[in-house]
Structure 1
Amino acid sequence: MSTLDFSPLFRSMIGFDRLANALETAYRTESGGYPPYNVELIDDNRYRITLAVAGFTEADLSIEAKENLLTVTGQRQVAESEGNFLYRGIANRAFERRFQLADYVKVEEAHLENGLLHIDLVREVPEAMKPRRIEIRAAAAAPAIEHAAVKAAA
């Protein structure tokens, strides 16, 4: 497996350290893993993460959003008398899945339905950060000159 060198980005991108770190982390992270998940774009400012967590209850799952990191953990409460299995193909293991969130992306809600954990996210950009249109006014130099001429005549 070849590796990419992101050090030129660190030299030329001032103030974008998190972006370069995110690229490097994304490249190093292998796809797959447990549990499988989808990331869906609902509209321009809404997203949904869906994790397949069959066998987990609400009490077994934990969702934490801290700064720009969303962490989903699952720890099943194992009963001592679960049975005597001849074959166990259904995963019964703990997991931790992390998602790097962009600035201003917040968790709106989460719900568990039919073995799927849905986490709805929304991007709420503050008014001060949104683009705004600047009005261009005409120069007001002509009236100021006329005003000066009127004073001189008086």
Structure 2
Amino acid sequence: MRTVNFAPLNRSFIGFDQLTSLIDTATRNEIQTSSIPYNIESFEDNKYRITLAVAGFKDAELNIESKNKALTVKGTKETTEKAASKFVHQGLKVQDFEKSFQLGDHVKVLAANIENGLLLIDLEREIPEALKPRQIQIGKEDLAQH
């Protein structure tokens, strides 16, 4: 595994330290978590859907948490006291996982559903009116009177 040192960039670019920290965290998380297939789709301008393949997991075995601009999905398989099977071939390995996604500003989770072994998480970015672009009219008000 190759690591990237962002320290030289942080000395030259002011205000990009958070971006380099996010990249560093993302690469570390990708290594530490078990791999689970997922898609990220974009609908319209500000709607998104994360789809994770969670075949073999029940609703109660999945935990979805949104905290501090991070979305974390954990799957913990319940242990049962069934007789141990002897596999001739085991191509479907259901194992615990944890997958984290960094959310942008003003992104909130709308809903989560399971359909056909896929966990669907719908997200939406709600930009406050104060942050939306607006047209400034020229000559409509005298600033000297205020």
User: TM-score band (shorter)?
Assistant: 0.7 to 0.9
Q: Secondary structure at the match of 1:72?
A: strand
Residue equivalent to 2:114 = 112
Q: Secondary structure at the match of 1:18?
A: helix
- TM-score w.r.t. length of structure 2: 0.82
1:81 is displaced (CA, Å) by 0.6
1:12 is displaced (CA, Å) by 3.6
Q: How does 1:1-150 map to 2 (within 5 A)?
A: 2-28=2-28, 29-30=30-31, 33-86=34-87, 87-137=89-139
Count of paired positions: 139
Aligned-partner Cα distance in 1 for 2:41–2:77: 26
Aligned-partner Cα distance in 1 for 2:5–2:96: 34
Letter in 1 for 2:60: A
Name structure 1 gaps, 5 residues minimum: 141-154
Q: 1:119 to 1:134 in 2, by over 3 A?
A: same
Greater Cα shift, 41-50 or 131-140? 131-140
Larger radius of gyration: 1
Q: CA offsets per residue over residues 28-85 of structure 1, 9 Å max, x none? A: 545x943211111122211111000001111110100001110000112122115422
- Report the RMSD for the aligned CA atoms in angstroms: 2.3
Name structure 2 gaps, 5 residues minimum: none
Q: 1:139 to 1:89 in 2, by over 3 A?
A: closer
Aligned-partner Cα distance in 1 for 2:77–2:141: 71
Q: Secondary structure at the match of 1:22?
A: helix
Aligned-partner Cα distance in 1 for 2:140–2:72: 53
Q: CA offsets per residue over residues 125-144 of structure 1, 9 Å max, x none? A: 1111111111111797xxxx
Q: Displaced runs of 4+ in structure 1, greater than 4 A?
A: none
Aligned-partner Cα distance in 2 for 1:135–1:34: 52
Q: 1:96 to 1:82 in 2, by over 3 A?
A: farther
Identity %: 50
- TM-score w.r.t. length of structure 1: 0.78
Letter in 1 for 2:22: A
1:4 is displaced (CA, Å) by 3.2
Letter in 1 for 2:25: T
Q: CA offsets per residue over residues 76-107 of structure 1, 9 Å max, x none? A: 21221154222333222211110011111111
